[in-house]
């Protein structure tokens, strides 16, 4: 009988952790705000870890800043792709004036 109790306890813990994780995902912004609020109450500076997407965006920005030619070739490639496949109701990129900042 003890093995059934142990198995049940394990499943209860799993259910608790899964429910906690689901709530954290569902209310991510509120959860992060609460973390920052509690950290401030404790007198510490809190900065949430960047998400995978935010890290990738920062990595891409750094790569493009370090390699200006790559930015230009990437922009040219995207313009070409967009010109070949315009979105319905929107002008093709070739019709949009290009800026000199790229």
Check residue 99 and give its pLDDT.
Answer: 54
Check residue 102 and give its pLDDT.
Answer: 46
Domain ranges, ordered by start, for the chain: 2-41, 52-86
Q: Global pTM?
A: 0.43
Distance, CA of 30 to CA of 24 (rounded, Å): 9
What are the Cα distances from residue 55, in Å, to 6, 35, 44, 85?
41, 20, 23, 29
Mean model confidence pLDDT for the chain: 85
Each residue's pLDDT tens digit, 43-82: 999 888 888 999 999 999 999 999 888 888 888 898 998 8
3-state secondary structure of 100: coil
**Judging by beta carbons within 10 Å of its beta carbon (0-12, 13-18, 19+), is residue 31 exposed, middle or buried?**
middle
Check residue 83 and give its pLDDT.
Answer: 87
């Amino acid at each position: 009988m003890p093995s059934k109790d142990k198995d049940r306890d394990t499943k209860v813990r799993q259910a608790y952790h899964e429910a906690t994780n689901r709530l954290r995902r569902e209310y991510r912004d509120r959860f992060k705000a609460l973390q920052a609020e509690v950290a401030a109450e404790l007198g510490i500076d809190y900065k949430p870890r960047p998400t995978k997407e935010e890290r990738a965006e920062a990595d891409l920005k750094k790569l493009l800043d370090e390699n200006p030619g790559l930015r230009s070739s990437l922009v040219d490639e995207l313009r070409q792709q967009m010109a070949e496949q315009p979105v319905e109701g929107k002008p093709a990129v070739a019709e949009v004036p290009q800026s000199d900042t790229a």
